[in-house]
């Protein structure tokens, strides 16, 4: 079993979530309120190593009412410095890493009270992350990027809902919403996207688009949700 999975991001009109320099602050204050309201609704928020290192995010609920979710970091080689905000005491944090992680860094994080799960391989398996979170009582998850992490989950049909805010900017290069090996055509996509809604942001400059991810083939082991 796995939790229900949301993926949320703000993109430029050319589909970038960050510029070539790593700049990513795209959302207006209204959109940030939506992000924080969703954080308050879920039990856990997932980010990848680059997002943790570049943004140094808090991943807490500040612009909406509600409790902080558990923060989840996927960091294969455990590159994230222990001084990052994601390791502070404001909310629990779980790190998923691999056998590439230095033992001393794992111990350092554990001494800080961080839960560290080490996969016995060179890769973190996203389906196993979700099933582990489910076993810890997590029923709703928000994936907050970046592009590579989004690919890891969506390419395996491990996302249920995508919420993208299109903002009035163009980067021309940088990080796309989804960054991976890619699909050669729409037939190769393992899912269909069903439009759930479109909303003009309160700021009048951004558009929020919501899609349901419908898997073409349901993997009974990993894609099964609790009913």
Ligand X SMILES: NC(=O)C1=CN([C@@H]2O[C@H](COP(=O)(O)OP(=O)(O)OC[C@H]3O[C@@H](n4cnc5c(N)ncnc54)[C@H](OP(=O)(O)O)[C@@H]3O)[C@@H](O)[C@H]2O)C=CC1
Binding site for ligand X (CB under 6 A): 9-10, 17-18, 22, 24, 26, 47-51, 54-55, 74-77, 79, 123-124, 126, 144-149, 152, 175, 179
Q: Any contact of residue 25 with ligand LIKH6CAM (CB under 6 A)? A: yes
Tokens representing residue 204 in the block: 């009048």
Query: What does the H/E/C string look like for the chain?
Result: CECEEEEEEEECCCCEEECCCCCCCCCCHHHHHHHHHHHHHCCEEEEEHHHHHHHCCCCCCCCCCCCCCEEEEECCCCCCCCCCHHHCCCCCEEEEEECCCCHHHHHHHHHCCCEEEEECCCCCCHHHHHHHHHHCCCCEEEECCCHHHHHHHHCCCCCCEEEEEECCCCCCCCEECCCCCCCCCCCCCCEEEEEEEEEECCCCCCEEEEEEEEECCCCCCCCCECC
* Nearest residue (CB) to ligand LIKH6CAM, 58 versus 139: 58
User: Residues binding ligand LIKH6CAM: what is the number (CB under 6 A)?
Assistant: 17
> Taking the complex as a whole, how short is the minimal distance between the CB of residue 227 and ligand LIKH6CAM, in angstroms?
29
Asked whether 64 and 43 are in contact (CB, 8 A), the reply is: no
Instruction: Please choose which of ligand LIKH6CAM, ligand X, none residue 78 contacts, taking the beta carbon within 5 to 8 angstroms, the exact cut-off set by kind.
Output: none
> Taking the complex as a whole, how short is the minimal distance between the CB of residue 164 and ligand LIKH6CAM, in angstroms?
9
Q: Any contact of residue 47 with ligand LIKH6CAM (CB under 6 A)? A: yes
Check the CA dihedral 118-121-123-124 and report its sign. negative
> Taking the complex as a whole, how short is the minimal distance between the CB of residue 188 and ligand LIKH6CAM, in angstroms?
28
Interaction pattern, residues 102-141, with ligand LIKH6CAM; x per rule: CB under 6 A: ----------------------------------------
Binding test (CB under 6 A) with ligand LIKH6CAM, winner from 8, 80, 133, 175: 8
Task: State the residue number with the nearest CB to ligand X.
Answer: 146
Binding residues vs ligand LIKH6CAM (CB under 6 A): 8-10, 24-27, 35, 47, 51, 55, 57-60, 144-145
């Amino acid at each position: 079993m796995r939790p229900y999975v949301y993926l949320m991001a703000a993109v430029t009109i050319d589909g970038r979530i960050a510029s070539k320099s790593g700049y990513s602050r795209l959302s207006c204050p209204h959109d940030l309120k939506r992000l924080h309201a969703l954080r308050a609704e879920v039990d856990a928020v997932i980010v990848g190593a680059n997002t943790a290192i570049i943004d140094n995010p808090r991943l807490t609920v500040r612009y909406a009412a509600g409790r902080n979710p558990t923060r989840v970091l996927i960091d294969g080689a455990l590159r994230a410095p222990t001084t990052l905000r994601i390791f502070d005491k404001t909310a629990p944090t779980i790190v998923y890493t691999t056998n590439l992680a230095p033992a001393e860094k794992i111990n350092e994080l554990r001494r800080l009270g961080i839960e560290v799960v080490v996969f016995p391989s060179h890769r973190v398996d996203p389906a196993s992350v979700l099933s582990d979170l489910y076993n810890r009582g997590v029923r709703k998850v928000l994936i907050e990027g970046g592009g590579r992490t989004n690919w890891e989950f969506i390419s395996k049909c491990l996302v249920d809902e995508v919420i993208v805010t299109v903002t009035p900017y163009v980067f021309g290069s940088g990080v796309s919403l989804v960054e991976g090996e890619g699909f050669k055509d729409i037939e190769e996509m393992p899912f269909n996207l069903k439009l759930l809604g479109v909303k003009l942001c309160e700021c009048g400059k951004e558009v929020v688009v919501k899609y349901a991810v419908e898997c073409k083939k349901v993997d009974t082991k990993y894609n099964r949700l609790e009913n």
